[in-house]
Amino acid sequence: MSLTVVFSTKKINLDFVEIIKATSGVHNIEILPYENPGKYSLTEVYNMGIKKAKNDIIIVCHDDIKFDTKNWGRKILKLFKRHSEFGIIGVAGSRYMPESGKWWEDFSKMHGAVYHENKGERWLTRYSKDVGNQLDDVLLVDGLFFAINKKILKHKFNSDVEGFHFYDVDFCFSNYLEGVRIGVCTDIRISHLSIGVTNDEWEKNRVIFAEKYKDSLPVKIKRTFPSNDRFDILIACESVTEPLMELLLHLKKENHNITLCGECTVPQHNILKRKNINTHKLNSPPGYAVGDGVWSINTPEGPQPTEKNKLYKIKEIKFDIVHSTHNQISTFIMPFYPNTPEFRSDDEKGVEGDIIKKYKEILEW
């Protein structure tokens, strides 16, 4: 079993072709590069590639990517064999499509992870936790890199979508509406050597898409949970009460990843530390640090000294859910994690163990 790789490029780079061959781990992989300095839209190129491909499993991708995972092609073939009901598999996507067509509007509904490289810097944008060799069901995947099983597809790429934007959204959504399952995998890492930006062409195609599917939007897929799924939970409080301490330890015992943001006593801190529960003070939530006028932060104008007592975001941290103990704490903590679902327990109920069921009711949407 082999696969085909199709990509469009202004000028064919033989080094990139050789990298695909060397990293895919697939014998006799077929590579169909299309030199395309603007003559064809991506939908036209991809349809030509699908028609010409010798294999049923076809990858379409950008020409400005790096493959960070060895044998990624072999992994794709195994995923389609293991999940034969899926027609499209990507590395990033969303289970929510709003009326606007801006599928990345709600970060909490996104899945997958992608590296980005720009101006000498490299970072991982992680939209969800890793699921091993499983797939997260989504409505669409990002056109950066995705694979299709052409035997399962209901629609080819829509040639009415002009240029190089929104081709992936229209393609995925039209197939989804016809019952094609779309998934995101997390055991293949891709680096994008640029930052995705919108432009006039993107906006034009977005408006066309939103009008075309206005009777079907918005759409949201329920999240599914494997039996061994572990949640990343942030619990925010003013102080750790005895019932809350019981809850923290209970959730940790159930193998969930727990972070506390609030005041606790020295004995409580020592117990939580032994249980590998991270603790933060309310004035420095996870992912943020308080400026002191000494350490600096990178800005477009270069390194700048931090202001005293001002909070700075130093890294992206994603939680599955934020559990706040009352309204005042919620008002304070949620702006730091605006797209994260919240559970509030003013009376600290749910300590007995059914609280995970309540989390799931929130998280599945």
Distance in angstroms (rounded) separating the CA atoms of residues 90 and 83: 13
Residues 122 and 188 occupy one common structural domain: yes
**pLDDT tens-place string over residues 291-335:** 998 888 887 778 889 999 899 998 888 898 999 998 999 999 999
Four-point Cα dihedral 182, 184, 189, 193, nearest 10: 60
Q: Burial letters for 51-65: b for 16+ Cβ neighbours within 10 Å, e otherwise?
A: eebebbbbbbbbbeb
Count of structural domains within the chain: 2
What is the predicted pLDDT for the residue at 316? 81
**pLDDT tens-place string over residues 272-292:** 999 999 999 999 999 999 999
Residue position matching structure tokens 């809850």: 247
Choose among 125, 116, 200, 211: nearest CA to 165: 200
Let me know: does 327 contact 342? Beta carbons within 8 Å: no
What is the predicted pLDDT for the residue at 350? 46
**Residue 83, pLDDT above cutoff 70:** yes
C-alpha separations of 12 from 36, 55, 189 in Å: 9, 22, 23
Q: Which band of pLDDT confidence, cut at 50, 70 and 90, is reported for residue 352?
A: very low
297 part of a folded domain: no
Residues 166 and 244 occupy one common structural domain: no
310 part of a folded domain: no
Q: Please, what is the angle between helix 167-177 and helix 200-212, to 10°?
A: 20
First-last CA distance in the chain = 37
Mean pLDDT computed over 148-158 = 96
- The CATH number of the domain holding residue 163 is 3.90.550.10
Which helix (H) or strand (E) segment holds residue 248: the answer is: helix 242-253
Residues 118 and 169 occupy one common structural domain: yes
Q: Where in the sequence is the domain holding 319, given as residue range(s)?
A: 232-288+315-363
- The CATH number of the domain holding residue 264 is 3.40.50.80
**pLDDT tens-place string over residues 26-79:** 999 999 999 999 899 999 999 999 999 999 999 999 999 999 999 999 999 999
The tokens for 283 are 């004035």
Residues 256 and 324 occupy one common structural domain: yes
Cβ contacts of 9 within 8 Å, gap of 6 or more: 16, 33, 34, 35, 36, 63
Residue position matching structure tokens 């395309």: 36
Dihedral sign from CA coordinates of 66, 195, 180, 158: negative
User: Mean pLDDT across the chain, nearest whole number?
Assistant: 91
Distance in angstroms (rounded) separating the CA atoms of residues 261 and 248: 12
**pLDDT tens-place string over residues 197-239:** 778 888 999 999 999 999 999 999 988 777 667 899 999 999 9
In the chain, count of helices (H) and strands (E)?
A: 9, 24
301 part of a folded domain: no
Q: Which band of pLDDT confidence, cut at 50, 70 and 90, is reported for residue 130?
A: confident
Let me know: does 207 contact 99? Beta carbons within 8 Å: no
φ/ψ of residue 198, rounded to 5: -90, 155
Distance in angstroms (rounded) separating the CA atoms of residues 193 and 198: 16
60 part of a folded domain: yes
φ/ψ of residue 84, rounded to 5: -70, -15
What is the predicted pLDDT for the residue at 346? 63
Residues 145 and 24 occupy one common structural domain: yes
